[in-house]
Amino acid sequence: MEQGIKEVLDETGYTIRFAKKSDIADIMLFFKQHWKENHILANDRAFFEYEFCRGEEVCFVLLLNGSNDIEGTLGYIPYGGEQRDVFTVMWKALYNGRMFAGVGMLYYLMENGRCRHIFTSGMNESTRNIYKYLGFETGDLQHFYMLNEECENRIAYIADRTELNTDYRESSVLITLQRVTDKEQFLADYFPERREEKIHKSPEYMVHRYFENPKYQYLVYQLWREGEKTHSFLIAREQKQDESVVLRLIDFVGDEELLAYAGTQLRQLMKANHYEYTDMYVFGIADDILYRAGFSRKAKDSANIIPDYFSPFCRKNVNIGIFWEKGIKPIIMKGDGDQDRPSA
């Protein structure tokens, strides 16, 4: 932690430390009082522990006042064990006239959390300049979507068809999507990303995130090229709303170039399952790859609405801000951090 922040903490009686299991009830109460009363992390302890407990580690940094009351939280999602990549979540500091509060928790995590690289997804727009000041790169996830022209638009609202990609041509490269339902089968073919500038997602993280999730059932597809399996996986989730259902592409690990050839299979999935559309929030995969797959990119000020909030549902466009460390080129998707979980 920067010396100036440490000195202020010492002078004011504030303490920053990692959470313990005995703190969980107080953290949940803090969220109920200062976040949202009906927030899932304020009311569902089992889900709280699924999200943030890794053995005895409770993945929160706490800011405590002189009376040992919580005045700030900084949650984090670790993607491995030692020297892991980490996404920050649930960053909340009560206004107490001291700018050090939230920044101090972040420095504490960076110095003591066994972090290799640190990211966030779901950045509050009001904090963007703080991250820039701290030396991080900031940006936004881009929203891509592909309509099923055989379905009526009940969830999406399409007012501007000029935004739609009409240049899709079926690829000469045969890519198939093979469903993987067994985590042992997944682990046999999953090899974590080893490029220094990319996010390293450990096998334990992937199994915990997508095979053991207590709230959502994920569809894990292995990409096969010309009849041979690859080490690339696409993770998706069906989202129902009223009488419609859409397919949300949540995560991707492996060779992103293969996605350029997956458009035919995605269209077949939409047709077979009557998905109204499929969409993905993504940063770090070249637009050209997704255009070749047949996706359209939703402009930031688009008249078309491809909703993001379903739990509860709200028909509006949503921007998802992100930050990452300078010098790396991560691929960040909707599944990273805590963006794909229920809120209530």
- Which pLDDT value is given to residue 16? 94
| CATH code for position 183 | 3.40.630.30
Give φ, ψ of 84 to 5 degrees: -95, 160
Task: Among 90, 112, 139, identify where a domain stops.
Answer: 139
Judge contact between 332 and 322, C-beta under 8 A: yes
343 domain residue, yes or no: no
223 domain residue, yes or no: yes
- Which pLDDT value is given to residue 124? 86
* Residues 273, 338, 142, 235, CA torsion sign: negative
**One domain, residues 234 and 284:** yes
Domain count, the chain: 2
Which range of residues forms the domain containing residue 121? 3-139
**One domain, residues 14 and 99:** yes
**One domain, residues 211 and 312:** yes
**One domain, residues 132 and 180:** no
292 domain residue, yes or no: yes
**One domain, residues 156 and 129:** no
Q: Per the omega criterion (within 30 degrees of 0), is the bond before 312 cis?
A: yes
Task: Among 139, 163, 181, identify where a domain stops.
Answer: 139
Per-residue pLDDT of the chain (344 residues; tens, 9 = 90+): 555 565 556 556 789 999 999 999 999 999 999 999 999 999 999 999 999 999 999 999 999 988 999 999 999 999 998 889 999 999 999 876 555 667 889 999 999 999 999 999 999 888 898 899 899 999 999 999 999 999 999 999 999 999 999 988 888 899 999 999 999 999 999 999 888 889 999 999 999 999 999 999 999 999 999 999 999 999 999 999 989 999 999 999 999 999 999 999 999 999 999 999 999 999 999 999 999 999 999 999 999 999 999 988 999 999 999 999 999 999 999 999 999 999 98
Judge contact between 104 and 286, C-beta under 8 A: no
Residue 38 and residue 28: Cα distance in Å, rounded? 11
Question: What one-character-per-residue DSSP string does 291-344 give?
Answer: HHHT-EEPPTT-SSB---EETTEE-S----EEEEETT----EETTSTTSSS---
**One domain, residues 87 and 163:** no
CA angle 75, 247, 158 (to 5 degrees): 105
Give φ, ψ of 342 to 5 degrees: -65, 150
- Which pLDDT value is given to residue 188? 97
219 domain residue, yes or no: yes
**One domain, residues 282 and 222:** yes
> CB under 8 Å to 214, separation ≥6 — which residues?
46, 47, 50
pTM of the model: 0.93
- Which pLDDT value is given to residue 7? 53
Judge contact between 314 and 170, C-beta under 8 A: no
Q: How many other C-beta atoms lie within 10 A of the C-beta of residue 71? A: 19
**One domain, residues 135 and 148:** no
241 domain residue, yes or no: yes
Task: Among 139, 159, 178, identify where a domain stops.
Answer: 139
Residue 194 and residue 342: Cα distance in Å, rounded? 31
Judge contact between 300 and 310, C-beta under 8 A: no
What does the block give as tokens for 154?
């009940």
**One domain, residues 305 and 205:** yes
- Which pLDDT value is given to residue 130? 87
Judge contact between 246 and 238, C-beta under 8 A: yes
332 domain residue, yes or no: no
**One domain, residues 171 and 129:** no
**One domain, residues 313 and 188:** yes
Kindly state the DSSP code that residue 278 receives in the 8-state scheme: E
**One domain, residues 133 and 251:** no
What does the block give as tokens for 105?
């928790």
331 domain residue, yes or no: no
63 domain residue, yes or no: yes
